[in-house]
A and B are shown apart, each in its own frame.
Chain A
Amino acid sequence: MVEDEPGDELMAGASGKETILWRIRHGTRDVPENERPEDVPIERGYRTAGDAGRDEIVEQFAERAAEYKAAVRRVSESELPGAISEALKRRGVEKLVIPPNLPEEWIPEDVETLRDAARPRLTNEELDASDGVLTGCALAIAQTGTIVLDAGPAQGRRALTLLPDYHLCVVREEQITGLVPEAFARLEETVRDERRAITFISGPSATSDIELNRVEGVHGPRTLEVLIAG
């Protein structure tokens, strides 16, 4: 409690909100009355746009995603369906989760598909019992090897990429941004206007909690595979 906070009688009827706001105003008495938040300068001297060329950006993304133990492969647009089918076979996927609006040509014919839709939705138990999920992404960040999902087309709601133990993600070359600030700028509209949830994924789930040994895979998908198409 602040030293000269109004006594119990005066604050008795006050809500938590009123009391906390009062304490804040009291605690910041040193801030001039007429100071606006914008009057406190923010030095944005950091990089907000990279100068790397497209090839370099794609190469860096591939390298850094792989450093985080994601299996990464670069393929051409025409090779993509074959590469998807091959990856799923290698993994032994039989029941594959498919988010809404995934390009049909990506889906191999010889797997059982579990298609999520607004109705009927797949249950958490169905997702848990599946062998894997195939998605696209909203964008990717080369600087950090990150895949960004925004619950949009070819990605679906968050549970789809969380419960299956295997995530195969297709990233198109033009979706890769160079630096972290470029990604946040590109996502702003989605968050502001549509309020969709955003998930950053950098490698598979991991922990270093036991004697600082890195273990890939605790609760999320234990295997993340990325196909870069372009």
Chain B
Amino acid sequence: MKVKTPDAFSKGKTPRFEESAKTALADTQLRRNLGKATKTIREKRKVVVEEMPDWEALREAGRSLKERTLRHLDEYLEQLEESVTRAGGHVHWARDADEANRIITSIVKSHEAEEIVKVKSIATDETKLNEHLEREGIHAFETDLAELIIQLAGETSSHILVPAIHKNRAEIRELFVRELGAEGLSDNPPDLANAARLYLRKKFLSAKVGVSGANFAAADTGTVCVVESEGNGRMCTTLPPVLVTLMGIEKVIPSWRDFEVFMQLLPRSSTAERMNPYTSFWTGVSESGDGPREFHLVLMDNGRTDVLADEIGRQTLNCIRCSACLNVCPVYERVGGHAYNSVYPGPIGAILTPQLVGIGKPGPDSLPYASSLCGACYEVCPVKINIPQVLIHLRGKVVRKKQDTGGLKSKLDPENVAMQAVAKVFSDPERFEQAQKLARIGQWPLARNGSIHRLPGRLAGWTETRDLRAVPEQSFREWWKTNRGTN
């Protein structure tokens, strides 16, 4: 097995966003493919959202359903457990990723399976389930076409929805010829898809265990739902005699009826379709032998209760993983998913990742800064997560954490020192005007075309990752005095 680069959920340290972004920006193919993908999906989404006269009402219903669920999450989870158990399923609780992986591995082992089939699940990417299984001698076959491509290539996803968007057809053909032994294959997309169909069909028919994630689970009926396009989700949740589903605890919804809201919001926001090709809903195990005879649902915390405990951050758990925020984000569109060093990229990843792994790690701590706060993500979010608000809130937490734990080094941190000096100046109007005049004189060796790329001395920390607008020739207050003012 190839070793993947560590991300925020692996053991190792990850680079900061601005470092990874530089590498990503230099990759022209990635930028071209991403630009095309995000633009296409963005435009299609607009069309299918605008044809809905009640879109705003649906968003509000989605938001309030999530709010209700999160405020009473303990009750809903217990109800879900009861419903699934009543329907013949088994429910497991996993405090963290390790525990989730151990539970799943022991189920797989109890059926003496050496191979399993998997449908795309970000929760299992978060726990690094495949690597864990591999160490235990079990191979997990990813069955989503894009996931298969990146698994065969030993890479990681660059977009929640279209994970292999950074690869072109010639690369995929070469990969399939080499890894699947598909001789004489063309690089025509239908032929490539067919190669995957033939290869995976055998796996679907022989696998004893299937593993899936969950898009939603209704507490009142115990019905679990997987939304997909290719049919691999139906295969994994129907054919193997044993099904294991890993879901984050925030995926529970109150009742069956609430699917009517989320099944309208998700497909239009995600793939920009009125409805995705396939959606499977199952309730425990069937008495008539339709599908698996054994069903396990693993409910995983892994940092989610920490997010819940933060009253501003809590709304992050509304997320239904549609990826609409990625497609409208000017930052994501340019750097792509890899720069976020997390299974959750883009604006949602910038708020979800640092909260899940905890503030105080340099890589994830840099993510709340990966935004210009333009607010496009909030506007398209189908469950109304105020991403800019959470970003600012998290920036505050990152700074406070640095101040609290950093000791002398952080007290002398250039940005910190500069901020304290600026705070003093900004709090007094006279000092502020004096400073403006001084700055105008002082900046001439630094300013080029109205912006400053590099500040001197201790202030350099500020311009390491951003440009500064030069102080204008005349301030608004000065202009007012000359043109309108009397004093």
Contact = CB atoms under 8 A, between A and B. Distances in A.
Interface stretch (A71-79, A82-90, A101-109, A144-152): A144-152
Contact of B281 (A159, A185, A198): A198
Interface in B268-297: 271, 273-284, 286-291
Given A143-B274, A197-B280, A207-B145, A215 B291 contact: no
A42, A43, A192, A213, most chain B CB atoms within 10 A: A42
B64 A42 contact: yes
B273 A202 contact: yes
Interface in A205-223: 205-213, 215, 217-221
A56 to B, nearest CB: 15
A86 B254 CA distance: 46
A202 B264 CA distance: 13
* Interface of chain B, main secondary structure: helix
B386 interface: no
A36 B71 CA distance: 9
Given A195-B283, A199-B280, A211-B33, A162 B234 contact: yes
Interface stretch (B87-95, B131-139, B369-377, B431-439): B87-95
Interface string A144-185: 111000010000011100100000000000000000110111
Interface string B83-106: 000010000111100010000000
Interface residues of A, number: 79
A188 interface: yes
B190 interface: yes
A28 B93 CA distance: 19
Contacts, number: 267
Contacts of A121: 289
A185 B75 CA distance: 24
B36 A45 contact: no
B193 interface: yes
B193 A218 contact: yes
B204 A27 contact: no
The 3 A-B residue pairs with the shortest CB-CB distance in the complex, in nearest-first order: A220-B231, A27-B309, A219-B231
Interface of A: 1-2, 15-17, 19-21, 23-28, 30-31, 35-37, 40-48, 64, 68, 118, 121, 124-125, 128, 141, 143-146, 151, 157-159, 162, 180-181, 183-185, 187-188, 191-192, 195-213, 215, 217-221
18 contacts: A21-B74, A26-B309, A30-B311, A37-B69, A40-B67, A41-B64, A44-B61, A46-B54, A151-B288, A159-B291, A184-B256, A191-B256, A192-B221, A199-B234, A202-B276, A217-B193, A219-B200, A220-B234
